[in-house]
Amino acid sequence: MQNFKNLLHAWRHTLYTLSYFALLAVFVPMASKRHMGTGGMFFAMALAAVLLLTCWGSIKLLSWKIAQSQITAAERRSWLSGAALLVH
């Protein structure tokens, strides 16, 4: 598992860049279909950056909150699977 984390850490900027261009591949055709021109391309780029930054920040915040929580891994697993809802 540590090797996988090291691999992701080493390729972090590459993954960010690929994610950004993948989001651009979604947003730019939508902007050009609506005949938005250069301004639409700019807003597509800005929207992709904001969306990527929001996802990254949410993941960082969630991982920080999980690390700060006082529940065990088994309790967390049962809560995420919904098994905690079935127990009365």
Residue 86 is predicted with a pLDDT of 67
The model's pTM is 0.65
Q: What is the mean pLDDT of residues 40-63?
A: 90
CB burial of 45-68 (b: ≥16 within 10 Å; e: otherwise) equals bebbeeebeeeeeeeeeeeeeeee
State the first-to-last Cα distance of the chain, in angstroms, to the nearest integer. Answer: 35
Please state the domain count of the chain: 1
Structural domain harbouring 31: 2-86
Residue 79 is predicted with a pLDDT of 77
Residue 84 is predicted with a pLDDT of 63
Residue 30 has pLDDT above 60, yes or no: yes
Residue 53 has pLDDT above 80, yes or no: yes
Residue 86: how many CB atoms within 10 A of its CB? Answer: 8
Residue 88 has pLDDT above 70, yes or no: no
